[in-house]
Amino acid sequence: MKIAIIGTGHVGLVTGACFAQKGHKVICVDNNHGKIKSLQKLIMPFYEPRLEQMVRRNYKASRLIFSTDIKQAVNFAEIVFIAVGTPLGPGGGADLSQIRRVAKEIAHHLNHRYKIIVEKSTVPVGTAEEIERIIKLYAPENASFDIVSNPEFLQEGSAIETTLRPDRIVLGVKTKRADNIIRLLFASFNSKILVTDINSAELIKHAANSFLAMKISYINSLANICEKTGADIKSVAYGIGLDKRINPHFLNAGIGYGGFCLPKDISAFIHISDKLGYDFQILKAVRDVNNLQREFVVRKIKKSLRNNLKNRHIGIWGLSFKPDTDDIRESPSIYIIQKLLQEQAYIKSYDPYAMKEAQKVLPNIHYCRDPYETAYKTDCLFIATEWDIFKNISLPRLKAIMRQPIIIDGRNIFEPEKMKKLGFVYHGIGREEPQISQIK
Ligand X SMILES: NC(=O)c1ccc[n+]([C@@H]2O[C@H](COP(=O)([O-])OP(=O)(O)OC[C@H]3O[C@@H](n4cnc5c(N)ncnc54)[C@H](O)[C@@H]3O)[C@@H](O)[C@H]2O)c1
The residue ranges that bind ligand X (CB under 6 A) are 6-12, 29-32, 35, 83-86, 98, 101-102, 121-122, 152, 154, 156, 260-261
Closest CA to 14 of 149, 118, 153, 192: 153
Query: Based on CB atoms, which residue is closest to ligand X, 48 or 386?
Result: 48
Query: Based on CB atoms, which residue is closest to ligand X, 117 or 381?
Result: 117
Q: Residue 95 CB, nearest distance to ligand X (Å)?
A: 10
Give catalytic status of residue 368 as yes or no: no
Q: Residue 157 CB, nearest distance to ligand X (Å)?
A: 9
Q: How far apart are CA 15 and CA 184, in angstroms?
A: 16
Of residues 18, 28, 226, 261, which has the active-site annotation?
Answer: 261
Query: Based on CB atoms, which residue is closest to ligand X, 104 or 399?
Result: 104
Tell how strand 2-6 and strand 25-29 pair up: parallel
Q: Residue 30 CB, nearest distance to ligand X (Å)?
A: 4
Query: Based on CB atoms, which residue is closest to ligand X, 84 or 355?
Result: 84
Q: Residue 413 CB, nearest distance to ligand X (Å)?
A: 23
Q: Which residues contact 243 (CB under 8 A, 6 or more apart)?
A: none
Q: Residue 279 CB, nearest distance to ligand X (Å)?
A: 24
Query: Based on CB atoms, which residue is closest to ligand X, 36 or 340?
Result: 36
- As annotated, the active-site residues are 261
